[in-house]
Amino acid sequence: MAPLPKRRHSTARSGKREKTRVLERVLLVKCPNCGQVKIPHAVCPGCGQYKVFELLKQTAPPKVIIDEAVELAKEFGGETSFSFVNGVLGTILKNL
């Protein structure tokens, strides 16, 4: 029978895990549109990701969800962000 290892995880493995946690905290940025914390170069939850979730789960009528998302994009987004949000949510609605 082979001897049992003294440690459950190697120091390299635990060090890698610690570095990943540190990097996750450093790499999070605030969304310029709504100010929520997000991962860089990813869709912001405040500007559309949760609206897609609401659209898929049908928590309200689809047109109401899209109108609300477009209004938020107009208020917090740039000049063309509302048309982008409208296009993405409209395409998702068509494909449902």
CA pseudo-torsion sign 51, 54, 59, 65: positive
* pLDDT band for position 23 (cuts 50, 70, 90): low
Is a pLDDT exceeding 80 seen at residue 13? no
Choice between 71 and 57, residue whose per-residue pLDDT is larger: 71
- Residue 25 is predicted with a pLDDT of 65
Domain coordinates in residue numbering, the chain: 11-95
Say how far residue 96 (Cα) sits from the centre of its chain.
Answer: 21
Report residue 16 as tokens: 């890698």
Choice between 48 and 28, residue whose per-residue pLDDT is larger: 28
DSSP helix/strand/coil, 96: coil
Q: How far apart are the first and last CA of the chain?
A: 58
Choice between 1 and 82, residue whose per-residue pLDDT is larger: 82
